[in-house]
Structure 1
Amino acid sequence: MKKILIFLISLFLIYLIGINTVPSYIEAQRNPVKIPGPYVVSAEAQELYDRLDFIADLHCDALLWGRDLTKRGDRGHVDFPRMREGNVAFEMFTIVSKSPAGQNMQENSADAFDNITPLTIAKGESPSNWFSLINRTLSQAQALDGFISKEGENAILIKTKADFEKLLQMRESNPRVIGGMLGIEGGHALEGNLENIDAVYEAGIRMIGPTHFFDNELGGSAHGESGEGLSDFGKAAVKRMNELGIFIDLAHSSPAIVEDVLNQSNEPVIVSHTGVRGVLDSQRNLSDEQIQRIAKNGGIIGIAFFDMAVGTPEIPNIIASIKHVRDLVGIEYVALGSDYDGSVAVPFDITGLPLIVEGLLQAGFSESEIRAVMGENVKQFFLKNLR
């Protein structure tokens, strides 16, 4: 009996050590920063950046890793203190619930081993989350709600237009106030159940991408096997999202799904993190025709920061991607969509956004255009379309 007790205690201690070390090690490996801060730009760029009253980013997966976002981290890309350090007013916190082993841009199977299952266990999450995608999703939503609650009057979970307007009003007197909105990366999180759309809406989710890196019940991924458009379930899901006021995120969707959503949806769409084929010809990225249709829909396109979306060197190619959208359809349709903390290497963390302003200035963008890209377009999009 004594040996069994010692064995169980040893297992428990190993588990505790794993909770404290494994997730942080994995995150540090999966989310490197190529250029460590602090970041220095020209006086002109810094002065312009300091004049910006609303800076926004449309995609960040920081909730996946289990960090306390109220504390400044020494790994990863985003947390609340670094948002404030970078004067960032708004972040879209997206929820990843499944990721296939061997994940790649070309082709992934929905049956591949799920990388998120061992991470979920290693983080010490409830056993109810270990094998349930919807439970993992709701748990991450609850985590952001908890982080924001700890911030008191210094942070707002954005669910409605009134919440967004409150954020803008509060920042007039207190620029430390930040806002976060919840999104889901991949409709597999719904587990094929339309009722789960209502459940995630009640949890605060206001954006859902039909697919991520593999095909699911809603249809085909840009990186899946089928290339299919919306299934019957996918069409019903789009209809329900429109009814509730959940934005549809077309990042990672197959071209057929992009076409189907734009044909069916009566609400503007978001592409939260992408590149453009005019800069990097990849199945990951938007064609000119897709960009034009998204603009006609009244949507908004977030340009990602990592090499597989924009190519290398990243910063000039981020600027080139922004310029491509501007020149094709107008400055009002383009925004920042970093994919921070999304298992990608990025050139800088969220405190390095002045480097984007520097690049835009060097490319001849006006101050009004820079304001639009850095956050004004996101502000106007949500003021117009949030309910």
Structure 2
Amino acid sequence: MKHLLLSLALAASVLLSGCDRISSEVEKQQNGVISHLPFVIAPEAQHLHDRLIIGDWHADTTLWERDISQRGETGHGDLVRYLEGNVALQMFTTVTKSPSGQNYQSNSNDSFDNITALAIAQGWPVNSWQNLTERALYQASKLHQLAEKQPEQFMLVRNQQELKRLLDKREQGQKILGGLIGTEGSHALEGDLTNIERLYQAGFRMMSLQHFFDNRLGGSLHGTSNAGLSELGAQAIREMERLGIMIDVSHSSPQVVEDVLALTQSPLIISHTGLYGHCQTHRNISDELMHRIAERGGIIGIGFWDAAVCDASPKGIVKAISYGIDLLGVEHIALGSDFDGAVVTPFDASELAVLTHEMLKAGFSSDDIRAVMGGNMVRFLQQHLPVN
């Protein structure tokens, strides 16, 4: 997430202007798409793309108060655009806390929390205004409602049986999106470990530990402490493992990543990131740590925005993917768009075929394209989702 330019005055103006208009205007400022002419996709690329199982590890679509069953005029993704892009699996991450003046270098815990203002401005339930667990649950409820409203086009994936059901439907030619639910930082726990099981029961199957603030579980990559994993954080990891929740160390401090690697043998996820050796920004942790995550069987989702890849163009994203393959091996590289995460991207979800096109142009084999575009995600989920 980058600068959510909201204020309490904006939130108060809901009373005069209406939630929908404010939400739309704010999102237009935050979730941009770089202006471009329609992409020209080579026929062989489109043919391959249409036959891929495509999966993405990170999108903040549920943060915004728009009907995600309909094609939107703002943001990067909704059910229509995900299906147009042939996405089969999308991890929807719930954002619960984000600092005013947000930056990649250092954010104080004393900073005003933008999501409070956003929740009020968008007319979220009152119990979510001051409770971060309720914010996560409210965002997840949108996906449950979508699954009930349009079961032929959207289903939740919470275990291996549901994953198999989704893949069988796709194999039979049904255009359906499988949604997974994760957290964007464990601020959503409110420091209470019993909330891990509460979120699990609501369908959460991936939890990241930090976002832009340090929290009770440990230090953020963008916080002030540079701290490692706290004792509460270690207890949270053990509880996540007990339940079968996958652990995402996006936004975690290097010391937290070190501590998690020392604590658990479970493969880790970095759901949306770049690689420091390719793009030397404070958003990306070291290649050495990436090596250690990959050696443990982890998976790295390559982002689609400038601070992750330094060149937010289809060709630039493919260069980052290529660097990751050379560094870590193709089996560890996946997509981590950060769609709808208050970032500017070169395309929206409906235009994902341009990545297949650019990978073919760059000399990728069809097997490597299949792996990166979704095959690696499917394999990881088959291995690490609960059985039922």
CA distance in 1, matches of 2:339, 2:44: 26
Partner of 1:75: 74
Note the C-alpha offset of 1:126.
1.6
Distance 1:254 1:315, change over 3 A: same
8 Å contact kept, 2:70–2:80: yes
AA at the equivalent of 1:362: K
Note the C-alpha offset of 1:317.
2.6
Measured against aligned partners, the alpha-carbon deviations of 1:139-173 in whole angstroms (never above 9, x if no partner) come to: 11111111121112332111111111110011122
Partner of 2:278: 279
Q: Quick check: 181-190 or 353-362, which moved more?
A: 353-362
Partner of 2:50: 50
SS of the aligned residue for 1:290 comes to helix
Report the TM-score, using the length of structure 2 for normalisation. Answer: 0.94
State how many pairs are aligned: 376
Note the C-alpha offset of 1:174.
3.6
Q: Quick check: 324-333 or 297-306, which moved more?
A: 324-333
AA at the equivalent of 2:181: L
SS of the aligned residue for 1:106 comes to coil
Measured against aligned partners, the alpha-carbon deviations of 1:12-51 in whole angstroms (never above 9, x if no partner) come to: 9962633121111001110010035743222232222123
Give the number of the structure whose residues are more often helix, by fraction: 1
Measured against aligned partners, the alpha-carbon deviations of 1:64-103 in whole angstroms (never above 9, x if no partner) come to: 0111111110110010011111111110000001110000
AA at the equivalent of 2:21: T
AA at the equivalent of 2:146: F
Partner of 1:191: 190
CA distance in 1, matches of 2:168, 2:71: 26
Is 1:24 matched up with 2:38?
Answer: no
Is 1:245 matched up with 2:244?
Answer: yes
Distance 1:336 1:286, change over 3 A: same
AA at the equivalent of 1:196: N
Q: Quick check: 236-245 or 257-266, which moved more?
A: 257-266
Larger Rg: 1
Distance 1:233 1:305, change over 3 A: same
Report the TM-score, using the length of structure 1 for normalisation. Answer: 0.94
AA at the equivalent of 2:344: A
Between the two proteins, what is the percent identity of the paired residues?
48
Partner of 1:153: 152
Is 1:179 matched up with 2:184?
Answer: no
Partner of 1:15: 15
CA distance in 1, matches of 2:111, 2:360: 44
AA at the equivalent of 1:17: S
Q: How does 1:27-106 map to 2 (within 5 A)?
A: 27-35=27-35, 38-52=38-52, 54-106=53-105
8 Å contact kept, 1:299–1:333: yes
Note the C-alpha offset of 1:342.
0.1
Partner of 2:202: 203
Partner of 2:4: none
CA distance in 2, matches of 1:153, 1:108: 43
CA distance in 2, matches of 1:239, 1:266: 11
CA distance in 2, matches of 1:156, 1:363: 34
AA at the equivalent of 1:20: D
Two-structure CA RMSD over aligned residues (Å)? 1.6
Which ranges in structure 1 are unaligned for 5 or more consecutive residues?
1-11
8 Å contact kept, 1:279–1:317: no
Q: How does 1:219-368 map to 2 (within 5 A)?
A: 219-368=218-367
CA distance in 1, matches of 2:15, 2:77: 27
AA at the equivalent of 2:140: A
SS of the aligned residue for 1:282 comes to coil
Note the C-alpha offset of 1:175.
2.8
Distance 1:369 1:13, change over 3 A: closer
AA at the equivalent of 2:87: V
SS of the aligned residue for 1:152 comes to coil
Measured against aligned partners, the alpha-carbon deviations of 1:237-271 in whole angstroms (never above 9, x if no partner) come to: 01110111111111111000111111112321111
Which ranges in structure 2 are unaligned for 5 or more consecutive residues?
1-11
Partner of 2:3: none
